[in-house]
A = this chain, B = another copy of it.
Amino acid sequence: MAIETRPAAPVSFETEPGRYRHWKLVTEGPIARLTLAVREQEPLRPGYELKLNSYDLGVDLELQDAVQRLRFEHPEVRCVVVTSGLDRVFCAGANIHMLASSTHSFKVNFCKFTNETRLALEDASRNSGQRYLAALNGTCAGGGYELALACDAILLVDDGNSAVSLPETPLLGVLPGTGGLTRLVDKRKVRRDLADVFCTTAEGVKGRRAREWGLVDDVVSRSRFDEATARRAEEFCAASPERSASGVPLAPLSKRVEEDRLEYSHLTLDLDRAGRHATMTLRGPREAAPPDAAGARAQGAAFWPLVAFRELDDALCHLRFNEEAIGLVLLETEGDVERVLGFDRLLDGHAEDWFLSEVRLLIARTLRRLDLTARSFFALIEPGSCFAGTLFELALAADRSYVLDAPGWQASVSVSAMNGGAYPMSHGVSRLATRFYGAPDTAREIAAEPRSYSPEEALEEGLVTVVADDIDYEDEVRIAVEERCSLSPDALTGMEASLRFPGAEGCESKIFGRLSAWQNWIFQRPNAVGERGALTLYGKPERPSFDPRRT
């Protein structure tokens, strides 16, 4: 049985405002306006229409691009108003016909990506002083309301008609899969019984009751809506400190797609499809770090950590959507350890600089995308590599790490100040602290004394999994790769999702751990996707028929 595991047309994750089809981004001083007016006839794949401002991946990757660019290109923006360009409709959520006609793995990865976009938006609010205001000038359902939930405040027009709703359970037999249930009770802290009523009421809640239940922050008549939106946006601006007015444009990535290879300027992805694995090589900086923050800003989009991690981010999205059958990624690095550590000193020393801060935050988001990618990762640490500081995070994120024990090698891995907590995982803990969850003192000591480790020392300290000499190394890695690729892809996904996040959970990790895992389950249940399932029959005259057994 040959299963088609590559899409007919690969998804490209790069775009820019001039090419947006569905969103419009306008900035005016400290206020940006992100307006959703989805072009019905321009879905990402043919076969469905994007009615009522419903969205697909094509719509969402424009949103993610906008959120990212606002941080780099418009640091002066302190409030982003998210609203609709349609009359009386804010957004109807993810397009149902797109979902109903998608494969299980596409659905799961689509939801994961849209979740990450909303988390990036919250990250911009928390860490970049760019607050988001959802100005719901019309009805707001499902994923539309989940987008609003990710914003800092929600204004709803009070026109006797416009409601917020999460109709997934009553109408489609699935969950609001983009963090809605978790944000409802964990972030907005809506009382759980009211949340229960709300989530089972297809028509949603509007007007005063929506405010009383905490579903929105304010309801405003249509005539006063624009004024109220403007006032709230100004309040947000007043509460956020001013930032530099000159941004850094994000140039398009340099990327060459070949049959078995993706080639970026600082990253190569080599695909072994028959072996179901890939090798991802991230290259260190070609030059020494600039001396100061101004020098870094002058390099702009060419600044090494920025370009390298934008490329890594793009490659991870590519793997998820365009190379579904690659089960294992071998992570390699190449370059000069000292140069990498030089960039780390710059990043560590200028936390107050908006640009360097944005670069750190982008690296953190990309590493979280890696943690949440449902593929196995093995780090291969060999002479010539530079698993140092920020790049050592790749080894810490990997499920295992293998070191070739070359004689005299003093810097197989290197800890820098950036491993102490600059790049928290989804559950809010650094990768070093996560690794040493059972030995917090060890984690603190290692973080407190940045230094390089020989293979032997790295093994002794527990910083790597396996060290093998040149007689054994190649065989050991080969056997591990073969074994990994022979195991059930599903069991590995569930196992990795459980082992990667010991200890704490937060709203963000609960979205992926608790909520998404349940959604994935439901997404393959006959009650949703069977012939008579609710998702399958949505919009058709037949009514769904459920297997009543509760599990």
Contacts and interface: CB of A to CB of B under 8 A. Distances in A.
Interface of A: 1, 3, 5, 103-105, 108-109, 168-170, 172-175, 181-182, 184-186, 188-197, 199-200, 214, 276, 324-327, 374-375, 398-401, 434-439, 462, 465, 483-484, 487-505, 510, 513-515, 517-522, 524-525, 527-528, 534, 544-551
A535 B182 CA distance: 33
Contact of A505 (B105, B505, B548): B505
Nearest to A514: B513
A434 B550 CA distance: 25
Given A549-B105, A549-B325, A484 B517 contact: no
A5 to B, nearest CB: 5
Given A104-B551, A169-B488, A489-B550, A499 B326 contact: no
Contacts of A192: 399, 434-435, 437, 499-500, 502
B510 A549 contact: no
A121 to B, nearest CB: 21
A395 to B, nearest CB: 10
Given A169-B487, A521-B521, A493 B197 contact: no
Contacts of A528: 488, 490-491
B3 A548 contact: yes
A327 B548 contact: yes
A182 B521 CA distance: 19
Given A400-B193, A490-B525, A5 B548 contact: yes
A455 to B, nearest CB: 15
Given A185-B502, A491-B522, A494-B522, 20 more contacts: A1-B545, A173-B490, A174-B488, A175-B495, A192-B499, A193-B435, A197-B465, A324-B551, A325-B549, A374-B550, A488-B546, A489-B546, A490-B527, A493-B518, A493-B550, A497-B518, A505-B505, A505-B514, A514-B517, A517-B517
B514 A194 contact: no
A548 B276 contact: yes
Contact of A550 (B3, B214, B325): B325
Contacts of A551: 104-105, 108-109, 324, 374, 489-490, 493, 520
Contacts of A493: 518, 550-551
A518 B490 CA distance: 9
A5 B549 contact: yes
